[in-house]
Amino acid sequence: MNVWVLTQEEPFYLPVFFERFFAGLPSNVTVAGVHISQPFNSQSGWVEVIRDHLGYYGPRAFVEQGLLFALYKAKDRLGGSGRFYSVRRCCEASGVRVAAAGAVNGAKFQSALKEASVDLLISVACPKILKAKTLATPALGAVNFHCAKLPKYRGMAPLFWAMLNGESETAVTIHQINEGIDDGDILDQTSIPILPGDTLNDLYNRAIEVGPARLNAVLQQLRDGTAQPRENDKATSSYFGFPDAKAGSAFREKGLKFR
């Protein structure tokens, strides 16, 4: 089975996720390509991006996160640090092709999928909404990896919102993709506890500890024809966008921490 991965670039969690994912791929699954899109807020100017993240993190966490981002970017350029700090470098080390194939909903990308005989698209933090023609190109459609206990917490930053709302657990969910947002049938869901004193970083690390193996298990099920989709009930769903300054302030006021 040939798969094509859709994602974005960031230095904190995705490189670790993909290192584990590539290492655990079923023997009968091949990654034909990885498409790295620009982050969701890349169309905004730097002033807007800084303003939004400053409101989200608050001054102290914003500086800490910025310094860590710069450090990880420097380590990525230098290499040889014992772990990967970019998806691209992880792909290169794993022998996986990073393919420049145009916009994910464009004819060039759809042609690339056909030429590579891609059976399935895999979205992991892909910032683009896939349209019907792209979804219909691979024989098995597309699946998405989402860090929430769907149907609750569709949308963006679900781990943040679960912590802010006082949930005792979250989940990693692999679901089929349709033209809605986190709306397709659920293929696998594994609960993750939210423990007293957890930081948001703790939850992300817990998710990427569990997630790659669960995604590979779903790939094997799809390959074998044994997957058992279940309804992702829209009637009981909830949706959240990227946290604004008010949400970030509420997060900090509750004594919750990013790291």
Per the DSSP assignment, residues forming a β-bridge with 240 are 155
- Dump pLDDT digits (tens) for 177-187: 999 999 999 99
- On whether the CB atoms of residues 236 and 151 are closer than 8 A, the answer is yes
pLDDT at 148: 97
pLDDT at 37: 84
Which DSSP helix (H) or strand (E) runs through 2? strand 2-8
pLDDT at 41: 53
Multiple choice CATH, 2-253, 1.10.3720.10, 1.10.1370.30, 3.40.50.170, 3.30.1330.30:
3.40.50.170
pLDDT at 44: 55
Q: Which residues of the chain have pLDDT under 70?
A: 40-46
Name residue, tokens 């996160």: 65
Whether the link from the prior residue into 151 is cis, omega within 30° of 0, is yes
pTM here is 0.93
pLDDT at 32: 95
**How many Cα neighbours within 13 Å face the side chain of 164?**
19
pLDDT at 48: 78
- On whether the CB atoms of residues 25 and 3 are closer than 8 A, the answer is no
Cα–Cα–Cα angle for 154, 155, 157, nearest 5°? 110
pLDDT at 258: 96
pLDDT at 115: 94
DSSP letter, residue 235: G
DSSP letter, residue 80: -
* Cα–Cα distance, 259 to 244 (Å, whole number): 19
- On whether the CB atoms of residues 133 and 142 are closer than 8 A, the answer is no
Query: Residue ranges of the domains in the chain?
Result: 2-253
- On whether the CB atoms of residues 1 and 31 are closer than 8 A, the answer is no
pLDDT at 123: 97
